[in-house]
Structure 1
Amino acid sequence: MLSVAGRAVRSAFYLTLAGYAMQVIGFVTGVVLARRIEPDQFGIFGLALSLMLIFARVKLWGFNRIILAETDPDDLKVSTQFWMSTAFSLLVFLLLLAARPLLRLIYSSDVVLVATLIAALSVFENEGLASTPETMLARDLRYGLLSLITVLSTFVGQMTSVALALGGLVTFWALFAGYAAKTLSYFVGVWAFAPRRPRLMFSLEEARGMLRQGRFMFWGGVGTFLAFQYDDIAVGTIVGTESLGYYRRAYDLSLVPMSIIGGVLGVTAATYAKVKENREALSETVSFILDAVALIALPASVGLALIAPEFVALVYGEKWLPAVPMLRILLLYSMVRPLNDSIGALAPTLGRFDVDMRFGIVESVVMLVSCTALTLLWGANGAALSAGLTVVVGFYIFYRSLLRPYVDVNYRAIFVPPLLALALGTGVALLAMKVYAPPELWGTLFYKGAIFSGVYGAALLALGRQNLISRLRRLYSVTLGAGRQPQTGPAD
């Protein structure tokens, strides 16, 4: 029988495979949809989704995270969490219904209608009816099964949109239909395999306790929403749905580097919970995750920004080229967002719910002020810049409140060599383009990409071969080395 560490490693392996599978599915189907559907239609759906998420803040008290952090929650607590999640999800739908007359004064009828329908679907999502079965599967570290359900539901949703688009439905309705298919198939999947299910019981005392803990995560959720969604609302409202379509394309591409290490990020909360009493083990776990960000996500972010013009034109078509400047400005966001996602799970695990609240309040203020002002000044490019500024402020809060007091990590050893190698690789690639520029887009893409990758790798080796090999082996054991347990000890 595998130890907790072994199960965590295996879980990361499954989530990594699932992440790669969803990347392939999303990429292939996304290309088809981008070539069939116009940017403004993506903008309509994206704006509707963002409007719904404003109302969804009401239900995001982190009830499932509270249960996940518990050592052994009883049936009463689990059932209370389920009924509270369900009630709050229904409340979101009712609030949006009531707000429709006001929303129609600002937004088109299509946007308001789709937002209402998405709110109805949200009752079945992982903060609603699917929350408890998903949490129970995660508590048992059954990420292999969760990964399979996620991949299959993603495939069903994306193929639904593709089939409709190829059949002639080249509007936002094709995107909504895919979203609905994905949501409902995931709901069915987690309920079919849930190891524990809620019962017809409810405790007011447990509910009050969850609300007391959840009020901190509620504000953290507000900050998360503003950091990740307010820019969509600002662009869609101030600039228009066509610009939002371009912005969403750039934003989605900026998340690709983080999705590469999704297997590692996906098990952080459960793994932190298993080692939270041991400072050395917790420090080693955090070091593993930061290694993944430094060695994989950071170079992927820079490399993508470097080849963005050729990549977007070749893959999605020249009509999507206005997204390139936005993608490059989102580089800061793309580099820092994985750090926040990897460290943020420490807050509820360590009982520091106040950090979540502070994180949410500060990010809310930064995003509201910076995004509104910068979008008014520079349109979607300004929104992209504000996204980066907001996550930087958020990471500073996590560093001061979580990393410094609770873990011992050698940040210089983890981040300095990759950053130096990135600077050198980027500089050499840009200089090489001055010397010789291939005439074809494909040639330019591979030319820049190969030079950047080669110089980056060579520079890392030159800066510390033995340390690099040790870090890569350790990272492999945490991500792809299913069944292997990482060695403990301080970070290099």
Structure 2
Amino acid sequence: MSIDPRIETGLRWATMRQVVTGVVGTVGALAYTRFLQPEDLGMFGLAFLVYNGLFLLVEAPIRDAVVYYQNQEETHSSAAFWLLAVFAILAVTLVMIFADAWAQFYQSPLAAPLTRAMAVAFLFQAAAVVPAGLLLKRFQFAIHEGLQTLYELVLFAGWVTLSLAGFGPWALVLPIIAGAIFWSATTWVASQFRPMLHPGRAGYRDILRFSKSLFGSKLILYLNANLDNAAVGTLGGTALGWYNLGESQAAYGGVVVGATVAQIALPAMAAVQDRLAQLKQIYLEMLRLAATLSTPMQIGALVLADLMLAFFLGEQWLGAVPVLRAYLVLWLVRTLLQICDAVTSATGRPVVRFAVDLAQLPFFVAGIWVGLTVWGGIAGVAWALAVVRSVAGLVYFALTMRITHTSPRDVFRFLMPSSFAGIVMGLIVYAARDSGIIQRWTAAISPSIIAEGLNLAALILTGVASYFAVLFAVDRPGFRAVVVLVWQILLPAAWRARLLAMARRLPNGIHRKTLSANPRE
């Protein structure tokens, strides 16, 4: 199997970024959650509701429009920038005016200054959307991912430093402002973007025509994603802190894998939007890659959620476990929907996502009501919405299959092995945990924190080994295809050629197809 060299390069750089930021981010999260309380995260969550909503409304509609239009780059990118600038300035002005009312509604005086500060961060993030989109459109993944890595390192360093210094919820807000300034400045320099003062009516029409459905979709998506947080906020800062943590941690695997793969696949899909066979092949390969890597993470975390939160973050966060488990189930589906988003944007059909999200909204509101009043509390809200969102996601997935002319048999062939291996892995890890065999082996070790860590590590290793063993047993061709794909991503072609040449010189060397980026080499 061979993939577009541009996708290969992009995924390699994205993988490098995820490894670096994953390690640093994990260390950072361990640090700041030890020094912050759930109530601190809850107050930050109220401010983040506003910031996230504004950014969600502009990032994908404008970025995807910049990537989609392959001709007249300067005209379309300039029109996109000026439209975004007008929206951002108006939005920030309104936030500054109504921040006090927002804080009074939730009876949280600190929410007003936190929200205003996040509005400043949004302004700088909005300024970076077009130049960052141009980097992706031009397949300049090394620059984009390198700057993204530095940006995330700025965030993590700030979170840890300010948390240790006792800044409370401000420890999460101030680094976001600093990171936004850095990201905006560096993307402008790297892309060398200089907007035209008068891009013309045609440019504005094209951007508005493409973005309007995606903008509407993101507005509905924001309501679907955040009305629950707004409702849970009425239960108090601690409940919202638990809810936010559970929801965000469940999304980790989907964001690391699904969003990264989709971001790189989008420009490649856009480049072949008129060649259906190639579009379908990219779609299926990216689905299989995302599912193979994310499924064991999500199912393993589902089984070990309470152990992981208690060990890594502290027992004060155990209230988030039911929410974490509910949303891990959801992200088994949602990770794949990141690839579906890339398909609809690359083919100029963002209206599909808008229609699905709009149809989902009344069920979403009903789910919040059922979760709060019938099932009660944050766990009820999480499970009710996990069901609603999963059903809507499957409908959206079926529609993108039609766009790419992908049959259910194709999807089954590409996704069944990782799903089956993940289920078997989950049962094995659950049995190992429930039997207490590993825990009895480590119980005599002191201090207890080391024993708990060894127990958790052994369960995780058991899961990893069982998952890949089962995956290899049920689908050797698919397993090899994923290994080769990962091999292509991790090592440039020149390095692979050198290793292949070395292997050929060995008396009983590794089979050359194992090292080859293409089985025909």
**TM-score of the superposed pair, with normalisation by structure 2:** 0.86
Partner of 1:473: 484
Partner of 2:277: 280
| 1:178 counterpart letter in structure 2 | P
Offset at residue 421 of structure 1 (A) = 2.1
Q: Which one of 441, 461, 465 corresponds to residue 452 of structure 2?
A: 441
Contact 2:100 2:112 in 1 (8 A): no
Partner of 2:394: 396
Q: Please give the alpha-carbon distance, in whole angstroms, between the structure 2 residues aligned to 1:190 and 1:385.
A: 39
Q: Please give the alpha-carbon distance, in whole angstroms, between the structure 2 residues aligned to 1:198 and 1:59.
A: 18
SS of the equivalent of 2:274 reads coil
| 2:320 counterpart letter in structure 1 | A
Q: Please give the alpha-carbon distance, in whole angstroms, between the structure 1 residues aligned to 2:491 and 2:386.
A: 33
**1:188 to 2:182 alignment:** no
Offset at residue 488 of structure 1 (A) = 11
Contact 1:60 1:221 in 2 (8 A): no
Q: Please give the alpha-carbon distance, in whole angstroms, between the structure 2 residues aligned to 1:20 and 1:231.
A: 31
Offset at residue 129 of structure 1 (A) = 1.2
**Greater shift in the superposed pair: 253-262 or 140-149:** 253-262
SS of the equivalent of 2:195 reads coil
SS of the equivalent of 1:130 reads helix
Q: Which one of 245, 251, 276 corresponds to residue 241 of structure 2?
A: 245
Deviation string for 1:269-304 (max 9, x for gaps)?
111112222222111111111112221111110011
Partner of 2:323: 326
Contact 1:222 1:364 in 2 (8 A): no
| 1:233 counterpart letter in structure 2 | A
Contact 1:222 1:360 in 2 (8 A): no
Offset at residue 4 of structure 1 (A) = 9.8
Matches within 5 A, 1:356-375: 356-375=353-372
SS of the equivalent of 2:364 reads helix
Partner of 2:304: 307
Equivalent pairs: percent with the same residue? 20
Offset at residue 110 of structure 1 (A) = 1.2
Question: Which structure exhibits the higher relative contact order, with contacts defined as CA atoms closer than 8 Å and separated by 6 or more residues?
Answer: 1
Deviation string for 1:365-398 (max 9, x for gaps)?
3322212431343322123224423432342332
What is the RMSD of the two structures over their aligned residues, measured on CA atoms? 2.5
Identify if the C-alpha distance between structure 1 residues 341 and 375 changes in structure 2 by more than 3 Å, giving closer, same or farther: farther
**1:457 to 2:468 alignment:** yes
Contact 2:62 2:207 in 1 (8 A): yes
**TM-score of the superposed pair, with normalisation by structure 1:** 0.91
Offset at residue 220 of structure 1 (A) = 1.2
Contact 2:333 2:394 in 1 (8 A): no
Q: Please give the alpha-carbon distance, in whole angstroms, between the structure 2 residues aligned to 1:451 and 1:75.
A: 53
**Greater shift in the superposed pair: 216-225 or 294-303:** 216-225
**Greater shift in the superposed pair: 288-297 or 48-57:** 48-57
Identify if the C-alpha distance between structure 1 residues 418 and 157 changes in structure 2 by more than 3 Å, giving closer, same or farther: closer
**1:168 to 2:166 alignment:** yes
Identify if the C-alpha distance between structure 1 residues 160 and 101 changes in structure 2 by more than 3 Å, giving closer, same or farther: closer
| 2:248 counterpart letter in structure 1 | D
Partner of 2:499: none
Contact 1:79 1:199 in 2 (8 A): yes
Q: Please give the alpha-carbon distance, in whole angstroms, between the structure 1 residues aligned to 2:63 and 2:471.
A: 40
Matches within 5 A, 1:133-282: 133-169=131-167, 171-237=168-234, 239-261=235-257, 262-282=259-279
**1:119 to 2:122 alignment:** no
Offset at residue 323 of structure 1 (A) = 1.6
Partner of 1:51: 50
Contact 1:329 1:385 in 2 (8 A): yes
Q: Please give the alpha-carbon distance, in whole angstroms, between the structure 2 residues aligned to 1:24 and 1:277.
A: 40
Contact 1:340 1:391 in 2 (8 A): no
Identify if the C-alpha distance between structure 1 residues 100 and 165 changes in structure 2 by more than 3 Å, giving closer, same or farther: closer
SS of the equivalent of 1:322 reads helix
Deviation string for 1:278-333 (max 9, x for gaps)?
22211111111111222111111001122222221111112112222221121222
Unmatched segments (≥5 aa) in structure 1: none
Aligned residues: 482
| 1:187 counterpart letter in structure 2 | S
